[in-house]
C-alpha cells in the first residue's frame, strides 16, 4: 500500500502537534507493510535528508511566508501526488485540506485528518481565518475518509456538515524515565522544583498567562521553564521576554528534543498547559506519560483528556492558575501515583493501536474503491 502524506512542515524533530503526530504514526505504518512517502517543506528540514526510519522524505520548495507557506506547499504536494499516483493521499490539518478538491479532481483517494479548528488561533486575521474555515469545509466534504482526533471535533463535524468521521486519538509513547540531569545542570534547575511548559511559542498557547501566574504565586525555590523555539523577530516572543522581565527564575530553553527534552519532563514538579486552542494536546499526553502532575486550562480539548477536576482552571483566570500551582507545589507526587498515571495514559493513548486504526481506515477506502 503506497501512502503519500502532506500537510505537515516536516519530520523528524520539527516542533508542532501535527509534526509529532506524523513522526510517531508513520514509522509504525511502515512496520505494518505500508510504503510511506512524506512531503516535507524544504524550509523546515535537513537539506539532503531523503529517508528517515524507512520513510521516504520528499522535500518540496515553498515560500517561507506566513499565510502562503502552507497553501503553496500543499498545492505543489498534491500536484506531485497526481504524478506519482499513490494508493492514498493523506492530508493533515484543515489549512492544507483546502487542496482536497484538487486532489480528488486528479483522481486521488484522499484521507483528511482534522487536528483542530485552526481558525480559532489568536494569531490569524480575518482573511487567514476564512481560508482555514474554507479548508475545513472543503476537506471534510471532499475527502473520501475523514479522521478526527477528539470527540469534540467529531461532534463539531457532525453538527456543521452532517458528516461522519473516524475518531482516532493522538497518542504517546511510554518513555524510559531518565536519571541523568545534564540538561537540568545546563539551566541550573533542581529536580521537582520547576514548572514546565512545552509548546510552540505562539499566542494561543498563553505562555504570558503562565508567566504572570508564576510571578504571582511567589513559589520559594521554584523556577518556570518554558520550552519552545525562540523566534526573536516575532512580536509575541518579544512580549514573552518582556513579561519575564529578565527574572532568573524564568528560563527559556529554546527548542529541545531527544534526551534533553526527556530530562526536562522526567524531573519537573508540575506541567502546565494554559492554552486557548488545542486539538488533542500531545504535549499534555507526553507529560502524563512521564507520570507528571499536570494543570491545564478548561478548554474542551483539554477536558477530554479526563484529568481530575482540581487540575483544571478557567481559561485566562491568572489568579486561579496561580493558586492551583501553589496548591500542587505543596503536594509532590509519589512513585505509586506516577506509575498509576503512566499506566492510565498508556492504555488510552497507545501509538501502536492508533497505527492499527489508521491502517483500518486505509483498508476500508481501498476495499470500497
Whole-number Å distance between alpha carbons of 369 and 357: 19
Greatest alpha-carbon pair distance for the chain in Å reads 63
Least confident of 41-45, 246-250, 293-297, 357-361: 41-45
Task: Give the contacts of 43 (CB within 8 A, at least 6 positions apart).
Answer: 9, 61, 62, 64, 69
The pLDDT-based confidence of 364 (bands split at 50, 70, 90) is: very high
Report CA dihedral (361, 366, 368, 369) to the nearest 10 degrees: 140
* Cβ atoms within 10 Å of 336's Cβ, excluding its own: 9
Answer yes or no: is pLDDT of 267 > 70: yes
Whether 297 and 206 have beta carbons less than 8 Å apart is answered as: yes
CATH superfamily name and code, 2-171+350-368: Glycogen Phosphorylase B; (3.40.50.2000)
Q: Which three cell numbers stand for residue 141?
A: 466534504
182-348 maps to which CATH number? 3.40.50.2000
Whether 214 and 245 have beta carbons less than 8 Å apart is answered as: no
Least confident of 59-68, 310-319, 340-349: 59-68
CATH 3.40.50.2000 maps onto the chain at: 2-171+350-368, 182-348
Q: What is the pLDDT of residues 118-128, one digit of tens each?
A: 888 777 788 88
Structure pTM? 0.87
Whole-number Å distance between alpha carbons of 312 and 289: 18
Instruction: Report the percentage of the chain scoring pLDDT > 90.
Output: 86
Average pLDDT over residues 158-168: 97
With H, G, I as helix, E, B as strand and everything else as coil, classify residue 38. Answer: strand
The pLDDT-based confidence of 66 (bands split at 50, 70, 90) is: low
Average pLDDT over residues 187-213: 96
Write down the residue that cell numbers 482534522 correspond to.
114
Q: What is the pLDDT of residues 290-301, one digit of tens each?
A: 999 999 999 999
Mean pLDDT, the chain, whole residue set: 94
Q: Which three cell numbers stand for residue 59?
A: 522535500
User: What is the pLDDT, as a whole number, of residue 67?
Assistant: 66
Cα–Cα distances in angstroms (integers) from residue 213 to residues 206, 263, 338, in the given order: 11, 24, 25
Q: What is the pLDDT of residues 222-255, one digit of tens each?
A: 999 999 999 877 899 999 999 999 999 999 999 9
Whole-number Å distance between alpha carbons of 352 and 17: 18
CA-based angle 133:138:139, to the nearest 5?
95
Whole-number Å distance between alpha carbons of 154 and 61: 33
Whole-number Å distance between alpha carbons of 109 and 90: 9
Whether 96 and 135 have beta carbons less than 8 Å apart is answered as: yes
Average pLDDT over residues 108-137: 90
Residues linked to residue 307 through DSSP beta bridges, in sequence order? none
CA-wise closest residue to 89 among 107, 73, 72 = 107
Average pLDDT over residues 341-361: 96
Q: What is the pLDDT of residues 81-99, one digit of tens each?
A: 999 999 999 999 999 999 9
Amino acid at each position: 500500500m503506497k501512502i503519500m502524506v502532506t500537510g505537515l512542515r516536516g519530520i523528524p524533530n520539527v516542533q508542532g502537534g501535527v509534526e509529532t503526530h506524523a513522526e510517531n504514526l508513520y514509522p509504525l505504518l511502515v512496520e505494518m507493510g505500508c510504503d510511506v512517502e512524506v512531503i516535507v517543506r524544504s524550509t523546515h528540514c535537513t537539506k539532503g535528508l531523503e529517508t528517515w526510519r524507512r520513510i521516504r522524505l520528499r522535500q518540496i520548495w515553498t515560500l517561507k511566508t506566513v499565510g502562503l507557506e502552507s497553501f503553496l506547499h500543499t498545492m505543489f504536494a498534491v500536484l506531485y501526488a497526481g504524478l506519482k499516483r499513490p494508493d492514498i493521499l493523506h492530508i493533515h490539518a484543515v489549512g492544507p485540506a483546502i487542496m482536497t478538491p484538487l486532489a480528488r479532481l486528479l483522481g486521488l483517494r484522499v484521507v483528511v485528518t482534522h487536528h483542530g479548528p485552526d481558525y480559532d488561533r489568536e494569531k490569524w486575521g480575518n482573511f487567514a481565518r476564512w481560508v482555514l474555515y474554507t479548508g475545513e469545509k472543503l476537506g471534510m466534504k471532499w475527502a473520501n475518509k475523514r479522521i478526527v482526533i477528539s470527540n469534540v471535533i467529531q461532534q463539531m463535524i457532525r453538527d456543521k456538515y452532517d458528516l461522519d468521521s473516524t475518531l482516532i486519538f493522538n497518542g504517546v509513547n511510554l518513555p524510559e524515565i531518565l536519571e541523568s540531569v545534564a540538561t537540568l545542570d545546563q539551566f541550573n534547575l533542581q529536580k521537582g522544583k520547576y514548572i514546565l511548559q512545552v509548546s510552540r511559542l505562539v499566542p494561543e498557547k498563553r505562555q504570558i498567562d503562565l508567566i504572570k501566574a508564576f510571578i504571582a504565586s511567589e513559589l520559594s525555590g521554584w523556577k518556570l521553564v518554558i520550552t519552545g523555539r525562540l523566534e526573536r523577530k516575532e512580536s509575541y516572543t518579544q512580549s514573552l521576554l518582556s513579561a519575564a522581565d529578565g527574572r532568573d527564575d524564568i528560563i527559556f530553553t529554546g527548542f529541545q528534543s531527544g534526551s534533553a527534552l526527556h530530562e526536562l519532563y522526567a524531573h519537573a514538579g508540575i506541567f502546565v498547559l494554559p492554552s486557548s486552542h488545542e486539538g488533542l494536546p500531545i504535549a499534555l499526553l507526553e507529560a502524563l506519560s512521564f507520570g507528571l502532575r499536570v494543570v491545564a486550562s478548561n478548554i474542551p480539548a483539554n477536558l477530554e483528556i479526563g484529568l481530575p477536576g482540581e487540575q483544571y482552571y478557567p481559561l485566562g483566570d491568572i489568579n486561579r492558575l496561580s493558586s492551583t500551582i501553589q496548591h500542587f507545589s505543596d503536594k509532590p507526587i509519589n512513585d505509586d501515583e506516577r506509575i498509576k498515571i503512566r499506566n492510565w495514559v498508556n492504555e488510552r493513548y497507545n501509538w501502536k493501536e492508533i497505527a492499527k486504526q489508521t491502517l483500518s481506515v486505509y483498508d476500508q477506502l481501498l476495499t470500497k474503491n
